[in-house]
Amino acid sequence: MKTKVCIIGAGPGGATAALQLAQLGIECIVVDKAVFPRDKVCGDGLSGKVLTLLERIDKGIGQRLQQAMFKMDSWGVTFVAPNRIGMDIPYRLNYQQDMSNPRGFVCKRIDFDNFLVDEIKRRSEIRLFEGVSIDKYELQPDGYLLSSKDGSFQVKADIVIVANGAHSGFTKDVAGIKMEPEHYVAGIRAYYKGITGLHTDAFIELHFLKNMLPGYLWIFPLPNGEANVGVGMLSNSARNKKVNLKQLMLDTLATDPVMKERFANAELVGTIDGYGLPLGSKKRKLHGERYMLVGDAGYLIDPFTGEGIGNALYSGRFAAQQAAAAIAANDYSDKFFEAYDNDVYRILGPELQVSTKLQKLIKYPWLFNLLMKMGSRNKQLKDLMSCMFHEVDLRKKLGKPMFYVKLLFNR
Ligand SMILES: Cc1cc2nc3c(=O)[nH]c(=O)nc-3n(C[C@H](O)[C@H](O)[C@H](O)COP(=O)(O)OP(=O)(O)OC[C@H]3O[C@@H](n4cnc5c(N)ncnc54)[C@H](O)[C@@H]3O)c2cc1C
């Protein structure tokens, strides 16, 4: 089989790349080792970026997602500092005045990813192969030959968009990017039902509990009274402290004075599963001759929030646009694909840098405590933090020492 573009992986990054290519009138082949619907270990939190990007590709996709029944509209975040002072920060100020257009959602990845795969199945320009793992990649003078382990599936592509997630063999073997524990988070996820004390407007909760630092516990409300509950911690910290994340979470839910009340009648649904989060806290080369790395395969997860779906979508769209440019120019060189990295880091770079700084703040729990204490009393600071969801320039302030000095003296 021959194709101009082959996309490895039909997760959010790969599916978005395929949809954008189709929108540009370019045919492609998408190969995924799983058969959809399939699960993916995740917090299931979708930020405003997801809808914005899908709407940019095709307004209809955005509308269909807005109408979907499997998602829970979420209007903000509750941060809980190690001193247990919490602060509710809405994504939009005065959001109660207009609740017709939610931008944040929580939805199980089995549903969201299947939604995207259904979207790619609607497009005649995209051929999807499910249940096929690409394990061999050979660069030949006229393209990449991609094959399954036993060679029963083969495709020859002018361009490869690598979107096969955190454990991508291509990323490791061809791009030479190795997992570094200081730029990688270990995460576990569980589904519970019957948790009490959830926010009425489905705010997602991030708990920076003392016993979990520098990691945190999240509770993200889902439809039907369920919630996604999990813990994430930098891999080097988890390793150094010899932490068993699953045990840490179960012990915390059973013994922490607040959590034990809230989980008193809660029931675990299914199993507790783990997966890695490759962080964008370090800039990497995301391309080479005839290929581009997208989403987790390109280490693009936000190091502070753990958000990777939005960044997978953005990079997927940029990769599709760059593939179109390469086809038009008939240039598949390493140099030509440099423009892809430039696009990714121009748009995502500033917030990845700010989040890398914020991630380091967790090492100073007292600072975090102070911020929450002041924010809970000071409406201006709370509003400022709300605006930070949209404005990276404002978020930059959080990473600067002068911000805290000014706060202390303006109390
Ligand atoms: C515990 C945890 C919590 C998280 N919470 C959040 C959150 O709340 N919000 C958020 O935005 N992000 C979160 N993330 C990050 C998010 O899950 C990822 O950033 C996102 O899934 C990246 O999408 P992707 O398309 O790059 O990769 P994936 O979603 O991993 O998709 C990769 C696809 O490639 C396929 N594949 C793999 N290998 C092959 C192969 N050899 N051949 C063919 N196909 C292959 C897989 O089957 C899969 O379908 C979390 C991650 C973890 C681990």
CA–chain centroid gap for 32, Å, is 19
Closest CA to 362 of 210, 258, 242, 254: 210
Check whether residue 348 and residue 382 sit in a common domain: no
Angle, alpha carbons 401-405-408 (nearest 5°): 140
Number of domains in the chain: 2
- Which of the listed residues 30, 32, 137, 351 should we mutate to test ligand 1's pocket, taking the one with most ligand atoms within 8 A of CB? 32
In the chain, count of helices (H) and strands (E)? 15, 18
Bridge partner list, 233: 186
pTM of the model: 0.94
Residue 218 in any domain: the answer is no
Check whether residue 386 and residue 344 sit in a common domain: no
What's the pLDDT score for residue 411? 45
Check whether residue 292 and residue 399 sit in a common domain: no
Check whether residue 33 and residue 123 sit in a common domain: yes
The token pair that represents 3 in the structure block = 């194709």
Which atom of ligand 1 is least distant from the CA of 36?
Answer: 49
Beta carbons within 8 Å of 118's beta carbon, 6+ residues apart: none
C-alpha 40 – ligand 1 centre gap (Å) = 6
Residue 217 in any domain: the answer is no
Q: Residues 344-401: pLDDT tens digits?
A: 999 999 999 988 988 887 777 777 777 777 777 777 666 666 666 565 555 666 666 6
Check whether residue 339 and residue 382 sit in a common domain: no
CATH classification at residue 60: 3.50.50.60
Check whether residue 65 and residue 132 sit in a common domain: yes
What's the pLDDT score for residue 403? 60
Beta carbons within 8 Å of 221's beta carbon, 6+ residues apart: 72, 74, 106, 198, 199, 202, 204, 227
Check whether residue 56 and residue 113 sit in a common domain: yes
Check whether residue 312 and residue 392 sit in a common domain: no
- Which of the listed residues 29, 309, 355 should we mutate to test ligand 1's pocket, taking the one with most ligand atoms within 8 A of CB? 309
Residue 205 in any domain: the answer is no
Check whether residue 285 and residue 171 sit in a common domain: yes
Residues with CB under 6 A from ligand 1: 8-14, 31-34, 40-45, 133-135, 163-166, 187, 189, 230, 232, 275, 277, 295-297, 301, 306-310, 312
C-alpha 261 – ligand 1 centre gap (Å) = 33
CA–CA distances in Å: residue 340 to residues 33, 80, 321, 325: 26, 38, 9, 10
Residue 211 in any domain: the answer is no
Check whether residue 56 and residue 142 sit in a common domain: yes
Check whether residue 308 and residue 381 sit in a common domain: no
What's the pLDDT score for residue 358? 81
Residue 376 domain boundaries: 362-409
Residue 239 in any domain: the answer is no
- Which of the listed residues 185, 206, 277 should we mutate to test ligand 1's pocket, taking the one with most ligand atoms within 8 A of CB? 277
Residues (pLDDT < 70) of the chain are: 380-411
Contact 48, 56 (CB under 8 A): no
